[in-house]
Amino acid sequence: MLSMAALFTSAAILFLGGGLNGVLIPVRAALAGFSTLEIGLLGTFAAIGTIIGCVLSPRLISRVGHIRAFAVLAAGAAVVALVHGLVVDPWLWVALRVPTGLCFAGLATVIESWLNASAGNRARGRVMATYMVIQLSMQTLGQLMLMTADPALLNLFALVALAITASLIPVGLTRAITPGPVAAVRLRLSMLYHCSPSGVIGALAVGLVNGAFWALAPLYADQQGLATNAIALFMSAAVIGGALLQYPLGRLSDRIDRRHVILLTALATVLAAAGLVLFDTWFAWAPFLFAGLLGAFMFALYPLSVAHVNDHVAEGQFVEASSGLLLLQGSGAVAGPVLAAMIMAGIGPTGLFAWIALVNLLLIGFVLTRLRKAARPGEAERADFVAMPASATAGLDLDPRAETPKR
């Protein structure tokens, strides 16, 4: 892993800026008087940008290489962050979320494809686990940086831009060999659904839930009367919870039918979301406690779904499966914030967690139905669980296993 130290360092600095950016945008929007629907649209258009970025970034990498692609995308993300701070207008911000999502998705594609192509099959689990820990920990630190200045001022947007720009330095100085060009990817969602209905619907549910959470959880905390520092702690509690249970749930899913672990995860997410709806005012630390429990299970659903799909597809379809799951997740993230915002407008701030509970209840019903129809795959057919961020994962299409011809 020492050969990847520069890339890991750049990723850490990038996620520091990304973590601050993710919590700053909705908080600043609320302070500026944006409506709940407008804030929901910020998340939706960021997801649209993510989808576009995942489609276009492989072409950019193939054309100019990993390092130059990283530089172009990081520069774009820094510029857009500064424009957010200079001009506060709801519809301009909605438009700016597209290039924001595009740039961050492209940067994730560069990092993850580089890691996957460099790791080799035997080390990939450890490499991606290291990447996951870096991502969650630095995003948490970035969210805590919200406490360092008034979000109504330009200062925090400048910090976002500085961090993103600084992430260029380690990658720009590295002498490591970068991966080769990206091969074309063919997407057949119907084939994926035929192979693994539970995994495909799980990935869609992740987009519907996580997209709404990232876009609207800071707004929920603000409307519940939490101070700026407390909002940062609330978001950090969810991220820390997500980091803690990734591997235990993954190991469990390697030993029993993954669908049973998906059921357990979805049920625990429902209970945690219900806690935020029903008991968030019982004591001062209740929101933070339930946020940690929610993140612990909510953020584990995507890698479980990915592993379950990989249990069933042929090895030559690895790229197709990864790209298809990303597209489903991104599509869900487009609709999730708007639908959740509509519920919040109708029943109040806790409508966000009512939405999260509803989606997971529907997932539970679907998986239970599938358990009655399909048997567990044999041990020889099962793919290893790899902890993965529930975010842009298009970089998997540079995995060496993608070189296997389609069957």
Q: At what angle do helices 228-255 and 286-298 cross, to 10 degrees?
A: 40
- If you average pLDDT over every residue of the chain, what do you get? 81
pLDDT over threshold 80, residue 318: no
Looking at residue 357, its pLDDT comes to: 96
Query: Within 13 Å and on the Cβ side, how many CA atoms surround 10?
Result: 25
Q: Name the nearest CA neighbour of 204 among 358, 387, 331, 341.
A: 331
Q: Tell me 1's DSSP state.
A: -
Q: Which amino acid is at 100?
A: T
- Burial class for 141, CB neighbours closer than 10 Å (0-12, 13-18, 19+): middle
Q: 3-class SS at 299? A: coil
Query: Given pLDDT bands bounded at 50, 70 and 90, which one contains residue 404?
Result: very low
* CA atoms of 33 and 52, how far apart (whole Å): 29
How many residues are recorded in the chain?
407
pLDDT at res. 397: 44
The rounded distance, in Å, linking the Cα atoms of 129 and 13 is 17
- Using an 8 Å Cβ cutoff, are 312 and 195 in contact? yes
Amino acid at residue number 54: C
Higher pLDDT, 386 or 248: 248
pTM over 0.85: no
d(CA 354, CA 359): 9
Instruction: For residue 400, give the DSSP letter.
Output: G
Give Dmax over CA atoms of the chain in angstroms: 57
Q: What gap in Å lies between CA 186 and CA 317, rounded to an integer?
A: 9
Segment 253-292, tens digit of pLDDT: 777 888 998 999 999 999 999 999 887 666 677 888 899 9
Structure tokens at 4: 């990847």
**Alpha carbons 196 and 302: distance in angstroms, whole number:** 14
- The answer to whether 42 touches 91, Cβ cutoff 8 Å, is no
| 127, 113 contact by CB (below 8 A) | no
Q: Which domains does the chain have, with CATH numbers?
A: 2-175+189-403 (1.20.1250.20)
Residues 132-156 have a mean pLDDT of: 85
Phi and psi at 310, nearest 5°, equal -70, -20
- What is the number of alpha carbons within 13 Å of residue 329 lying toward its C-beta? 26
Residue 71 has pLDDT above 80, yes or no: yes
For 204-246, what is each residue's pLDDT tens digit? 999 999 989 988 898 888 888 888 788 888 888 898 888 888 7
DSSP 8-state class, residue 279? S
Gap between the Cα atoms of 84 and 157, Å rounded: 7
Structure tokens belonging to residue 119: 């790791």
Spatial distance between the Cα atoms of 218 and 202, rounded to a whole number of angstroms = 24
Give the whole-angstrom CA distance, residue 151 versus residue 156.
Answer: 6
Q: CB-based burial of residue 202 (10 Å sphere; 0-12 exposed, 13-18 middle, 19+ buried)?
A: buried
pLDDT higher than threshold 70 for residue 182: no
Which range in 52-61, 93-102, 147-156 is most confidently predicted, on average pLDDT? 93-102
Q: What is the pLDDT of residues 327-369, one digit of tens each?
A: 788 888 888 988 999 999 888 889 999 999 999 999 999 999 9
